[in-house]
Amino acid sequence: MNTYSRLTGIAVLALGWAVPALADCVDTRKPTAAEVEFHSRAVAALVAALPPVPVGGKLQRNDSLPTLGSNQCVGATGDFSVQATRFYELNGRLSIVEVLMNVRQLPAASPLVATYGSASPKLSAGLKVNNVVSRVSGSDSPLRQALVDGIDRARLEAMVGKPLPSVAESQALAARAVPATVATTAAAPAAAAAPASGAPATPAATQPAASASPSAPASDPTRDAVDTVNKIRGLFGR
């Protein structure tokens, strides 16, 4: 499977949460100024929550950001959810990070999925933050783990029930984000291949010298001289 096919498969899963808000509309209207303002702030806040591209990585494609359609449901305020999606690539591995706000149903939490707030059947009704969801997808890799670690969960949780920051504040926050350095498999320590400085060159150097064989004792000059004298005395009968 090529890179494009893998990315497309992940993207289909990632974008599967989007629910057309206008599916149940009978009559439509233009969005109000308040809806446009809330939507703009929400998009900027979610983009700021996306981890920056890790060192050495790249964007596989442009961020996927929602637009507020010109047709909103009559009789409903804030009949929309908001979603920001970023596509990452590093060392041939792909991962996607999604951050959503005011979804109808919350997915089950997991190491890759975090949810804050409660389900919002009426989406952004009341123009307030009812829930925030983050999800990371892609094959298991150091890239995916770095993206999971790079999501500021405390900030996402703090959005629920609070006024959204201005677009400029969110953009400034995003500009200050520090890209992560993705961990790679460490190489075997050099010490495993060569002894440390000052260490014996080989294990044998640390062993005590082998003792002389019992069958070949070392020569003792004094004992040899005594033996020679005794032999001479024996020859002369002394």
Please write the tens of the pLDDT for every residue from 182-193: 977 543 344 444
Given a cut of 80, whether residue 121 has pLDDT beyond it is yes
Structural domain of 160: 3-175
- The answer to whether residue 128 sits within a structural domain is yes
Four-CA torsion 4, 13, 122, 173, nearest 10 degrees? -60
Q: 35 — phi, psi (to 5°)?
A: -65, -40
- The answer to whether residue 200 sits within a structural domain is no
- The answer to whether residue 94 sits within a structural domain is yes
- The answer to whether residue 163 sits within a structural domain is yes
Looking at the structure of the chain, the number of domains it has is: 1
- The answer to whether residue 222 sits within a structural domain is no
Given a cut of 50, whether residue 176 has pLDDT beyond it is yes
State mean pLDDT over 201-214: 44
Given a cut of 60, whether residue 82 has pLDDT beyond it is yes
- The answer to whether residue 166 sits within a structural domain is yes
* pLDDT tens column, 9-24: 544 444 444 444 445 6
- The answer to whether residue 194 sits within a structural domain is no
* pLDDT tens column, 41-79: 999 999 999 999 999 999 999 999 999 988 888 888 999
- The answer to whether residue 236 sits within a structural domain is no
Q: How confident is the model at residue 25 (pLDDT cuts 50, 70, 90)?
A: confident
